[in-house]
Structure 1
Amino acid sequence: MTVAVKYPAKAVPGDKVAVLSPSFAAPGFAPEVHEQAMERLARLTGLVPVEYPTTRQLGAAPRERARDLNAAFADPQIRAVLATIGGEDQITVVPHLDPEPVLADPKPFLGYSDNTNILNWLWTNGVAGYYGGSTQVQLGPGPAVDDVHARSLRAALLTGERLEVTEPGESEDLGKDWKDPAALTDYGDREPTEPWTWAGPARTVTGRTWGGCIEVLQWLLTAGRFPTDPAVLDGGVLLLESSEELIPAREFGLIVRSLGERGVLETVDAVMVARPPTSSFEVHPSSAERASKRAEQRDVAIETVQRYNPDAVVVVGVPFGHTRPQWILPHGGLVTVDGTEQRVWADYS
């Protein structure tokens, strides 16, 4: 039992794309970063960003944000929808979304973190999306857009290529404070990355992806917004990552355990766990402490997955989710996890 998936058509240069704030309206908080993001989006893709009433409206009600999403999905001139950032209350927006225009004219939706809500809603309606790509985080700040992000952004929106997901060799947990003028010109504090860790059998898995931010997945399961039968994920690839809330490794493992008890882990054939953030504006661990926290989450993720599914191919440390440079990955589309060659490929068609 698997979900039939529609793949949205690609945009072409000159098309319009909606830029929305389904959760936190970051452009209203830091408009300079947003403006730079829009310039870079247009330059990188040739697409024309279109804002909606709540794109910059701080504190907009869930129904108002849903209204803008519904309008963007229904407008035939809009050929993709990009989220500016995540947040924490998108779960209250989803009940107001209308599936009819989405099914009539599927469009690529890009977002991560709290946007796991919308991606799961699209997935349950049989429409693929893309996990990653918040404009306020990956496009606006710093001296340039990271190469791996730019390539996966163009693949998701325009070209539909099959790309190898590679390690850029450096990472930052967060950039400069958006209110600091340096946010427009400087990266955050970057450090060298560790090699990915592989576990499970040396075999190759190609499957449709589902998942996202693990804290949000817990909310979705609690709210009953996942199909009753986990067999809809049969043979799939589970994406798991954690947010800037910096949950302890033990809590990460407990949520993964709940996915195991739900039947999700034994159904999928591969699990990809992202390199987690380990610092924030309020929390500043040493380099050794950050490495230790990443190792703790890695170990508990592998141990828990293997407890429920020793045949799953597991890779930990992939640069997606709450990290930069960030790969945008298919959500509902195909990813190949090659445990023999220890390589990952993403199909953006």
Structure 2
Amino acid sequence: MIKPKKLSTGDTVALVSLSSGLAGGDSIRWRTEQGIKRLEEVFGLKVKVMPHALKGVDYIYEHPEKRAEDLNEALRDPDIKAIICAIGGNETIRIQPYVDFDALKDNPKIFTGYSDTTANHFMFYNNGISTSYGPALLTDFAENIEMDDYTVASIRRTWFESDIIGEIKPSGTIRRFGLKWDIENRDIERESFTNPGYESINGRGIARGHLIGGCFELFGSMRGTGLFPDTAAFDNAILFLETSEVHITPDFFEDYLRALSMMGIFDKVNGIIVGRPQDGVHYEDYKKVWKQILKEAGREDLPVLYNMNFGHNEPKFIVPYGLQAEVDTENLTFRILENAVTD
């Protein structure tokens, strides 16, 4: 995988809205500004808001070509060192016909987001460029009161340092979902609860492989499109999957997971890490489904770590696509065995 250059204090990053246009909404604008301020004050970065990023929900939905135009411009601009997505949504796949893939391939840069942004990540991954399944502006950077130390540490370790990332420990606490992004709530700290840590739910031993994955629901919606990678991409991989705030029912989860099984993906991977379901909804039911489907696939030997802090969880760690990683179900550890950025 091609790795982007690391960030340094004073660098410029771009804000894009490639999915939902929520960041430009009048009632949310305060939170957008708060996230930008954190990028400036916590990390010493300059923020360039791309021309269409804050034009609102309706405009962004109606103009996928303008979303892609912002991405293309950010890729071509030599002063921009990283691209940060405002938030996810549900139809960023519509920008694909308008993306300048030559610019994407010729200008590898840090690119971050999660959820619907999974589709954007695969635009990069399919062209051999490592990106970050990680924080978005409106959620992580704009967290009420202050950013979580765990998230800040992951950002610094992954984007600002070119050393091997190493062990990723579980967060001590997890934020509770549900506090509305109303301006009158801006000074209310979201409740946290103790994180019990990683859990081994299948297989035994140590597995190593390259990281590939994203948001579970997006895996379903990308199947059959040109964005879903050839199944050979999963050979000897560490698959990472997590579910969104939609809280799909265990029955639907079973159907979707079985589809991935029938595609042969679980026959190919060396191990799996699973993100904590947001707020723990269906926590035990999803575990049962994982065990059931892997048993059906004849992969009761496959090492799987559960309750991981990425995706729809705050705080979160960054999962860099394509990097070699290690899952250890005996010691309940997860390691990233490479650096994510270069000097």
Q: With the length of structure 1 as denominator, give the TM-score of the two structures.
A: 0.90
Q: What does the per-residue CA deviation read over 1:271-290, in whole Å, with 9 as the maximum and x for residues that have no partner?
A: 11110124xxxxxxxxxxx5
2:304 equivalent among 293, 311, 314: 314
Deviation per CA, 1:307-337: give whole Å up to 9, x if none: 3223321011101111111112112223221
Instruction: Select 1:31's aligned residue among 13, 29, 32.
Output: 29
Distance 1:201 1:176, change over 3 A: closer
Question: What amino acid does structure 1 have at the position aligned with 2:215?
Answer: C
Matched residue, 1:50: 48
Equivalences for residues 136-147 of structure 1 within 5 A: 136-147=138-149
**SS where residue 223 of structure 2 aligns?**
helix
AA aligned opposite 1:143: I
- CA–CA distance in structure 1, aligned partners of residues 144 and 178 of structure 2: 8
The 3 A distance-change label for structure 1 pair 323 and 110 is same
Query: Separation in 2 of the partners of 1:333 and 1:54?
Result: 32
Alpha-carbon displacement from aligned partner over 1:126-156 (angstroms, at most 9, x marks no partner): 1111112011001112111111110111223
In structure 1, the residue matched to 2:80 is 78
Whether the 8 Å contact between 2:150 and 2:317 is mirrored in structure 1 is: yes
Match in the other structure for 2:209: 207
Cα distance in 2 between the residues matched to 1:24 and 1:143: 24
Residue of structure 1 aligned with 2:100, choices 98, 102, 116: 98
Contact persistence 2:114–2:215 (CA under 8 A): yes
- Please state if 1:323 is matched with 2:286: no
TM-score normalised by the chain length of structure 2: 0.91
Q: How many residues are matched?
A: 331
CA separation of 1:186 and 1:331: change in aligned 2, threshold 3 A: farther
CA shift for structure 1 position 173 = 4.4
Aligned Cα RMSD in Å?
Answer: 1.7
Distance 1:269 1:322 in 2: 24
CA offsets per residue over residues 71-123 of structure 1, 9 Å max, x none?
A: 10111111111101000110101221111112112011100000000001111
What is the CA distance between 1:27 and its match in structure 2? 2.0
Counterpart of 2:246?
Answer: 245
Partner of 2:17: 21
**Counterparts of 1:306 and 1:79 in 2: how far apart (Å)?**
45
What amino acid is aligned across from residue 238 of structure 1 in structure 2? L
Secondary structure, in 3 states, of the residue corresponding to 1:102?
helix
The 3 A distance-change label for structure 1 pair 125 and 173 is farther
* Whole-Å separation in 2 of the counterparts to 1:96 and 1:141: 32
Instruction: Kindly indicate whether residue 182 of structure 2 is the aligned counterpart of residue 179 of structure 1.
Output: yes
Do the aligned residues in 1 keep the contact of 2:30 with 2:183 (CA within 8 Å)? Answer: no
- Are the structure 2 counterparts of residues 185 and 335 from structure 1 closer, same or farther at C-alpha, using a change threshold of 3 Å? farther
1:285 aligns with none
Unaligned runs of 5+ in 2: none
Which string of whole-angstrom CA distances, capped at 9 and with x for unpartnered residues, describes residues 169-221 of structure 1? Answer: 32234252112322x32333333333432034432222211111111111111
Instruction: Determine the structure 2 residue equivalent to 1:169.
Output: 172
Instruction: Measure the CA separation in 2 of the matches of 1:156 and 1:63.
Output: 31
Q: Percent identity?
A: 27
SS in 2 for 1:295: helix
| Residue of structure 1 equivalent to 2:39 | 41
Q: Is the 8 A contact 2:204 2:302 kept in 1?
A: no
Contact in 1 for aligned 2:214/2:242 (Cα 8 Å):
yes
Contact 2:169 2:334 in 1 (8 A): yes
2:250 & 2:47 partners in 1: Cα distance? 39
Please give the secondary structure, in 1, of the residue aligned with 2:42.
helix
The letter for the 2-side match of 1:131 is: Y
Deviations 1:257-282 (A, max 9, x none): 1111111111110111110124xxxx
Inter-partner Cα distance in structure 2 for 1:196 and 1:49: 35
**Residues 238 and 272 in structure 2, CA contact (< 8 A), matched pair in contact too:** yes
Output the amino acid matched with 2:97: P
User: Higher mean Cα deviation, 117-126 or 154-163?
Assistant: 154-163
Secondary structure, counterpart of 1:148 in structure 2: helix
